[in-house]
Amino acid sequence: MTRLLLPLEHNSLSHDLTDDALLQRLRKLPRRVQQVFLLSRLDQLSFASIAERLNLPAVTVERHMNQALHTAREERDALANIAGQWYVRLQSPQVTASERIDFRRWLDSAPEHREAFHATELRWRTLLAPARQLGEDGWYRQPRASLSLGGCSVAIGLGLAALAAIGFWS
């Protein structure tokens, strides 16, 4: 994602959650959400590129990114939720000039808004280390989840059962 407010040299030293806790929360996300998140965070693909690569609507990519960013929050704060939605929306290829103006108005309307958005940026940065652990084997780069042996075994078993039933009744 692109840098929005924080300077590049900014380091966040205080984290609400440890890297281990963040990793555990990320692992609890649905596999597709993890995949979208890792393609964005580790491979730095744009939402449009992720949508094209995974054959998903852009709005779905945006929703998955909101879900991933939401897992990094300890508190259930409405203002933090709004800031997170803005943070993700501004990365979308579908964001309009009008929405950017609305964001700027929201950001400038109260110091708490700027603080919440700043905290969201810090949260995004804290997700890098857990993301590297989650995606270390590169599984997320596959366009579709590969068939599991268990799924094939069930399909083969059902097919054989159907053939046996047809043969039995013939």
Taking the whole predicted model, whether its pTM rises above 0.85 is answered as: no
Joined together, the tokens standing for residue 17 give 């959650």
Are 15 and 126 contacting, i.e. CB atoms less than 8 angstroms apart? yes
Q: Lowest-confidence range among 17-26, 47-56, 94-103, 128-137?
A: 17-26
Distance CA 154, CA 136 (A): 30
Backbone φ and ψ for 145, nearest 5 degrees, come out as -65, 130
Considering only CA atoms, give the Rg of the chain: 21
Q: Is the pLDDT of residue 152 over 80?
A: no
Residue ranges per domain, the chain?
19-169
Distance CA 21, CA 51 (A): 28
Q: List pLDDT tens digits, range 31-43.
A: 999 999 999 999 9
Q: Comparing 65 with 156, which gets the higher pLDDT? A: 65
Q: Is the pLDDT of residue 2 over 70?
A: no
pLDDT band at 76 (very low <50, low <70, confident <90, very high): confident
Q: List pLDDT tens digits, range 105-144.
A: 999 999 999 999 999 999 898 899 999 999 999 999 887 6
Sign of CA dihedral 108, 78, 19, 27: negative
Cα 147 from chain centroid (whole Å): 23
